[in-house]
Amino acid sequence: MSATLKQVPWRPDYVGVALPFEYVMAPIPKNLPAFKDWPVAGEDPALDAAGLQASEDPNAASESQIAEIVPTGARAILGLVEDRGFSPEELCRGLGFTYRDLSMRDVRLSYRQMRQLFMRAERLLGEPALGLALGARQTPISWGVPGLAMLTCETYGDALTYGLTHQQAIGSMLIHTVEEVGREVRMEVRFKRFDIQLESVLVEDAFAGFVAVSRYVIGPSFAPLRVDFSLPKPSDPEVYRRFFQCPVRFDAGVNRLTIDSHWLSARLPGFDRVNSRIVREQLDSLLPTRGGRNEIVESLSSHLRCDIESTTKQSELASLINVSERTLRRRLSRQDSSYREIRDEARYERARDLLLNSELSIAEIADAVGYSDARAFRRAFKRWAGCLPTEFRESR
């Protein structure tokens, strides 16, 4: 397997390894606002629009509400918040999702939800190097399926290329490009949208995470040649040098991390050619393929998929995703959608799966998707698919 690194975009936000990093933690500031006083998603124009003013695209605000981001970063933030002794559930209040939701495989968040979570965490923790703290605590598991698959690669270069190829599944708010120049491999980051309030935490997190996960993959001796930040010099730059174990420059005009290309040929410990290939193929089949949807629609769908057999009312579901029933109805209306449509979509998705991949009877499938009456299920399925459940099963 070649160790040559392809020049393709890469998005390794929020990755790292659990290393001692207590010196990043600052004293918790006093007189923090009560959680109940914090604004919620969709009801604070200042927070919702922040970072988007530079764009003249009239669709910028709506695009920021598309739930397409794998919540790797959100999990890292809430893990750090919990470690610091605060309630991650409270930090999510009013954002349209709960801490428990993030354990769901298919959950996605919007840019707006992510940035509000970051802003709240910065406000709550008062960390002078929050991005560094987030990146330093993660492992390849934080990358999800792509991170685990990287461990099956023969060389560090192969693992890096795998990460590049499957960048969308990692969960990113930045765009990373990597290129090989002579004996150096250079990674630079750029932003999908201008957002000066999050610039430092996102860049720090991406670079610290890259180094941390690399140390996990090939050993603690891994260190960049140098790290350049376009960010202004912080009050304690020595913290960065100690973590990266290399020269670190600020006000450099570019966000770039450079490593020696000899690392590309470094063999990963424990590589097994036969078993690694089998495991990687299995992991590849688990890579997410779903596109992004509006954040409120995604939140609603996630809950319904996990509890599809119940008859949860709209008011109860609104409470679960931290919004009022009135707000839920209004925001669904803006998307030309409704609770019933999203519920039926989830039921149809589950019913198709059971019809094709199980031996359950029609009555049992009806019960599994929330219908106590099999006749009502048959009528609903014909409305969705244009044919009866038995006809659908037989035609496949």
Q: Are residues 30 and 142 in the same domain?
A: yes
Buried b (16+ CB within 10 A) or exposed e, 144-158: bbbbbbbbbbbbbbb
Q: Is residue 160 part of a domain?
A: yes
- Residues 179-236 pLDDT 10s: 889 999 999 887 777 677 888 999 999 999 999 999 999 999 999 999 999 999 998 9
| pTM for the whole structure | 0.63
Burial class of 57 by CB neighbour count within 10 A (0 to 12, 13 to 18, 19+): exposed
> Is residue 102 one of the residues assigned to a domain?
yes
8-state DSSP, 353: H
34 and 164 within one domain: yes
In a domain, 333, yes or no: no
* Confidence category of residue 6, pLDDT binned at 50, 70, 90: very low
pLDDT over 70 at 38, yes or no: no
Shared domain for 278 and 356, answered yes or no, is no
66 bridge partner residues:
294
Residue 291 in domain: no
Longest dimension (CA), the chain: 70
Whether 52 is covered by a domain: the verdict is yes
Do 145 and 226 lie in one domain? The reply is: yes
Final residue in a domain of this structure, among 253, 284, 315: 284
User: 116 and 207 share a domain?
Assistant: yes
Tens of pLDDT along 69-125?
A: 888 889 999 999 999 999 999 999 888 888 888 888 778 888 889 999 999 999 999
Nearest to 344 by CA among 374, 310, 375, 369: 369
- Of 9-18, 142-151, 233-242, 256-265, least confident by mean pLDDT is 9-18
Q: Tell whether 345 is covered by a domain.
A: no
User: How many domains would you assign to the chain?
Assistant: 2
- Contact between 296 and 331 under an 8 Å Cβ cutoff? The reply is yes
- The arithmetic mean of pLDDT across residues 9-37, rounded, is 35
Pairing state of beta strands 248-249 and 226-228?
parallel
Q: Which of 284, 312, 331 is the last residue of a domain?
A: 284
- Is 160's pLDDT higher than 90? no
Domain boundary among 284, 300, 333: 284
256 and 147 in a common domain: yes
Angle between helical axes of 325-334 and 295-306 (0-180°, round to 10) = 120
The answer as to whether 343 is a domain residue is no
Domain containing residue 366: CATH number:
1.10.10.60
pLDDT number for residue 321: 67
- What percentage of residues in the chain have a pLDDT greater than 70? 77
Give yes or no: residues 50 and 182 share one domain: yes
Q: By C-alpha distance, which of 20, 208, 227 is closest to 132?
A: 208
> Is 266 in the same domain as 186?
yes
Q: What is the pLDDT of residue 18?
A: 31
155, 252: one domain: yes
**Is 138 among the domain residues?**
yes
Do 128 and 24 share a domain, yes or no?
Answer: yes
- The residue segments making up the domain with residue 386 are 352-396
